[in-house]
């Protein structure tokens, strides 16, 4: 009997290997047997070799599962359950990794949770699948908020940055730093960290996104008034 199953793949579309610290790239699309299993509740061997060992069939890269003629004789319920749990453990490791990766990219001081469960982690795999998706979407919003200055930086502040560090080009140089001044808005080193903290941004050496520098410039204005040599905001 030939059985064809169309795989329902994950919403997040991640790479084919779990991330580690320092992982780079923007994973988008791939297909995984354990995603099929977690979502469809069925057993799907990882490779053609594993398919042969488990006598279940071969996973085709097109996303279909084809069982060999003759059915799955000799494969007991216990074997199927054990294989399902192995796949669920793969999925749990995978999604935990991506949840941590996207969360750390937002520089939130994330600490991963130690999981000591010895049972079959199907439920936890689903939980972290949702967490990984949520974290990636949160990172996308965070990135826009922190880096897409052209969407939120007022023109008067762009003009200030252009005058201070951009040689006339908006919005200035967000990597500007010399012995006396730093940021696109030319804030003194002596005051930058306190200025940034005024509106909740971290010190320069921790993070200095365009949003952080804008917050520091607003903090400087609030603390000292318009002290720029260029036309102020």
Reduced to 3 DSSP states, what percent helix, strand and coil does the chain have, rounded to the nearest 5? 45, 5, 50
Tens digit of pLDDT per residue, the chain (233 long)?
Answer: 333 333 333 434 444 445 544 333 333 333 344 343 333 333 333 333 333 333 333 333 233 323 333 444 555 777 778 888 989 989 999 999 999 999 999 887 677 777 776 789 899 999 999 999 999 999 999 999 999 999 999 999 999 999 999 999 999 999 999 999 999 999 999 999 999 999 999 999 999 999 999 999 999 999 999 889 898 78
What is the rounded distance in angstroms from the CA atom of residue 39 to the CA atom of residue 126? 8
In three-state form (DSSP H/G/I as H, E/B as E, the rest C), the secondary structure along 132-149 is: HHHHHHHHHHHHHHHHCH
pLDDT attached to residue 51: 37
Short-list 156, 167, 192, CA closest to 177: 192
pLDDT attached to residue 19: 55
Q: Collapse the DSSP code of 60 into the 3-class scheme (helix H, G, I; strand E, B; otherwise coil) and give the result.
A: coil
pLDDT attached to residue 119: 84
Helix or strand holding residue 66 (H, E): strand 64-66
**Cα-Cα-Cα-Cα dihedral of 192, 197, 201, 202, to 10°?**
70
Helix or strand holding residue 5 (H, E): strand 4-6
Short-list 48, 46, 49, 53, CA closest to 72: 53
Would you kindly state where each structural domain of the chain is located, as residue ranges? 4-147, 150-224
Please return the burial class of 24, using the count of CB atoms within 10 Å of its CB with bins 0-12, 13-18 and 19+: exposed
pLDDT attached to residue 83: 86
In eight-state DSSP terms, residue 201 is: P
């Amino acid at each position: 009997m030939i059985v064809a199953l169309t795989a329902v793949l994950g919403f997040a579309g991640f790479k084919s290997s779990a991330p580690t610290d320092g992982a780079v790239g923007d994973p988008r699309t791939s297909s995984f047997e354990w995603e099929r299993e977690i979502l469809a509740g069925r057993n799907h061997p990882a490779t053609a070799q594993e398919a042969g060992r488990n006598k279940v069939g071969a996973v085709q890269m097109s996303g279909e599962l084809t069982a060999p003629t003759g059915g799955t004789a000799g494969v007991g319920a216990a074997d199927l359950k054990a294989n399902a749990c192995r796949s669920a453990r793969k999925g749990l490791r995978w999604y935990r990794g991506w949840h941590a990766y996207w969360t750390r990219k937002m520089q939130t001081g994330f600490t991963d949770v130690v999981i000591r469960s010895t049972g079959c982690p199907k439920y936890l795999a689903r939980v972290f699948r949702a967490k990984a998706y949520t974290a990636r979407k949160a990172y996308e919003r965070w990135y826009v908020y922190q880096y897409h200055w052209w969407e939120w930086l007022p023109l008067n502040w762009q003009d200030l940055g252009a005058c201070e560090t951009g040689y006339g080009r908006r919005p200035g140089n967000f990597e500007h730093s010399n012995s006396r001044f730093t940021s696109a808005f030319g804030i003194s080193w002596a005051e930058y960290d306190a200025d940034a903290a005024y509106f909740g941004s971290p010190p320069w050496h921790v993070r200095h996104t365009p949003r952080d520098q804008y917050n520091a410039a607003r903090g400087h204005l609030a603390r000292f008034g318009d002290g720029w040599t260029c036309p102020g905001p």
